[in-house]
Amino acid sequence: MKSVLPFFALVLTIWGCNPEKSPNQKLKLKGSESMHSVFMDLKENFEKSQPHIQLEIEGGGSRTGLEAIKENQADIGLSSFAFDLERELGTNHGILEKTVAFDGIVLITNEHNPLDSLTDDQIERIYEGSIYDWGQLGGNPGNIIPITRDENSGTQRFFTDHFAIEKLSSTAVVSDENKDILNRVQGNINAIGFIGFAYFTQGVHELKLATEDSNGYRSPTKRNLQNNSYPLKRGLRVYYRNSNNEAVNQFIHYLETTEAQTIIESYGLIANH
């Protein structure tokens, strides 16, 4: 027994020190629901080349990502809205910002809704409640059900700021996720909602929006995002602390690689080269 025990002790020590057993470091990313799907694919690809770093990704909305960075509860915040960092965090906040991609917000209706486009004024009045029936817009009569995101959403903040929506209609339905908005609009002919570009799919109708120079209407296509003619184009960004965290720096550098940008553009997004 005296000769066997040291042998097993040595085996257990070596097994416990095996660097492939578990990652050496974990990074927590938190924030934008619009960025969640593409960052899950980026996570999988990054961990193949950096197996010693494990990424954990949580949604919750852009504001929760910024708050998590502020409270040191996450290493990287994901945001689809460009927050004023000094206003939100004060001076000397030590937070860096990097835009990794561009996308657009897509206004969607049920596929059986005949309307093809809306003006800015019509959208504002729908979401504030003064236009409440599709018949008021020349569509089929029916009470409009406007669907919006919760107050933590960067998509919601961008949308309400752009259309100067001051107070939401009492009939507005609040949803936590892009996928939930899709399901609601697909299932109700009178619903209208807005989602991130990467979540657009069959079964809903995309509305054309008036250009900022009032020179016609534009669809939310990648071409119109690239030439800046679609009015609801926005940047998708990451927030992180200005520190010597090598794992964070490796992931930020990875986002600049051709490999990462290929994944980003596979979602219909425009990588920030």
Under 8 Å CB-to-CB from 18, ≥6 apart: which residues? none
E strands along the chain, which residues?
25-31, 53-58, 76-79, 95-110, 117-118, 145-149, 173-175, 191-196, 204-206, 208-210, 217-218, 233-241, 270-271
The answer to whether residues 213 and 80 touch, using CB atoms and an 8 Å cutoff, is no
Q: What are the sequence ranges of the domains in the chain? A: 24-102+235-271, 103-226
In the prediction, which pLDDT does 23 show?
58
Handedness of CA 237, 243, 248, 254 (dihedral sign): positive
The DSSP 8-state label assigned to residue 133 in this structure reads B
* 24-102+235-271 and 103-226, same CATH topology: yes
- Both structure tokens of 53: 């770093």
pLDDT confidence of residue 212: 78
Return the number of other C-beta atoms located less than 10 Å from residue 268's C-beta: 18
Residues of the chain with pLDDT under 70: 1-23, 214
Q: DSSP states of 85-108 as a string?
A: HHHHH-TT--EEEEEEEEEEEEEE
**Coil vs helix vs strand at 140:** coil
Q: d(Cα 170, Cα 26) in Å, to the nearest integer?
A: 43
pLDDT score at 16:
45
Query: What fold is seen in the domain 24-102+235-271?
Result: D-Maltodextrin-Binding Protein; domain 2 (3.40.190)
Q: How far apart are the first and last CA of the chain?
A: 64
CATH of domain 103-226: 3.40.190.10
Among 183, 223, 220, CA closest to 198: 220
Mean pLDDT rounded to a whole number for the chain: 90
What digits encode the pLDDT tens for the residues 91-115? 889 999 999 999 999 999 999 999 9
